[in-house]
Structure 1
Amino acid sequence: MTDEREIAFDYLPDPNNAGWMIWGPRQNGRFNTLYNPVRVREEEPGRVARVRVLPDEILTSVTGKMHGGATAGFIDIAIFAGARGCGINESGFAVTIDLSIQFLAPGEAGRNMDAVVELVRETGRMAFLRGTVEQDFGVIATFMATIRKVGQNR
């Protein structure tokens, strides 16, 4: 009998964007759906992936710019989608152990937001990642993260 937790996330070719995959939970109605679709493209095999969303106005604050919490939420999603784009964490089950974010500029809704995620090191249970969040006008945040792969005992 297959445990449904074995693979909880889809990772399928994007029919509208060659070279991109669409990543997300198989169950709708989860937090991640605020950012759908989440697209992933491998940039350096096994090392760097680009994660892209098109943020909606609902993710902005009263200033009209991206809410810091929405940007942080995207980063937390991007570390998992990016790990998958780097070829690890295929089941999608992992937890954030540590996430450090440096906000550099406000993001904007209605413009592609990319997280460039680099896999710095992977052990049997952990993955260490870092990256930047970019929009067409420049870098808006940097981050470092550690995730624990659930169910991995090596």
Structure 2
Amino acid sequence: MTVADASSPVFLYEDDPDLPGWKLWQFRDATRYNAFLEPLHVRVEGDVARVRMMPRHAHSNLRDAVHGGALLGFMDVALFAAVRGFGILGAVGAVTLDLSAQFVGGGAIGVPLEARIELLRETGRLLFLRGLVVQDAMPTVASFTATLRKSSPPAGMA
């Protein structure tokens, strides 16, 4: 994908033909940060949104594990994919107010990394979430909590 034109939605969110039951979620503008982590896949199961990425060599540290910065970036981006999966955010976006992470173990390169995210509470403007990053090779890679602030709708959309 290349830079999206102004008339198309910012994100692609559609059924993934290669992974039945999963949605493909990615930025239409491949020059943005998200492209470093994509493609991302989303599946909502009850109160939990599962967001997956495949860590590549570019996500590794010198120990050949997933770099902590790549994990933090994945957590942050996965929050937005999750709330889209929950049907909360559409045309109106949000911003991250805080993200607290606890690293538990190293993530392996080449093994799907999954964030399992729960919405703890939604208020008029805020979303409170928590999650775990898991992987087959390491059951818990990290845990995290976050608060997102919903953006104000553009004038005329309220």
2:144 maps to what in 1?
Answer: 143
Q: Distance in 2 between matches of 1:150 and 1:30?
A: 20
Q: Residues 152 and 48 of structure 1: is their aligned pair in 2 closer, same or farther, counting only changes over 3 Å?
A: farther
TM score, norm. by length of structure 2 = 0.88
The Cα shift of 1:91 comes to: 2.6
Say which structure, 1 or 2, has more relative contact order (CA 8 Å, 6+ apart): 1
The Cα shift of 1:92 comes to: 6.3
TM score, norm. by length of structure 1 = 0.90
User: C-alpha offsets along residues 45-64 of structure 1, whole Å, 9 cap, x if unaligned?
Assistant: xx321000111111101111
Q: Distance in 1 between matches of 2:25 and 2:36?
A: 13
Q: Distance in 1 between matches of 2:140 and 2:128?
A: 21
The Cα shift of 1:25 comes to: 1.6
The Cα shift of 1:86 comes to: 1.3
Identity rate of aligned residues, in percent?
Answer: 44
Residue correspondences, number: 149
The Cα shift of 1:27 comes to: 1.3
Question: Gapped runs of 5+ residues in structure 2?
Answer: 1-5
Q: Residues 13 and 20 of structure 1: is their aligned pair in 2 closer, same or farther, counting only changes over 3 Å?
A: same
Q: Distance in 2 between matches of 1:129 and 1:80?
A: 11
Contact map agreement 2:92 2:153 (CA 8 A) in 1: no
Contact map agreement 2:54 2:113 (CA 8 A) in 1: yes
Q: Residues 106 and 70 of structure 1: is their aligned pair in 2 closer, same or farther, counting only changes over 3 Å?
A: same
Question: Gapped runs of 5+ residues in structure 1?
Answer: none
The Cα shift of 1:120 comes to: 0.7
The Cα shift of 1:66 comes to: 0.8
Contact map agreement 2:129 2:145 (CA 8 A) in 1: yes
1:12-27 counterparts in 2 under 5 A?
Answer: 12-27=14-29
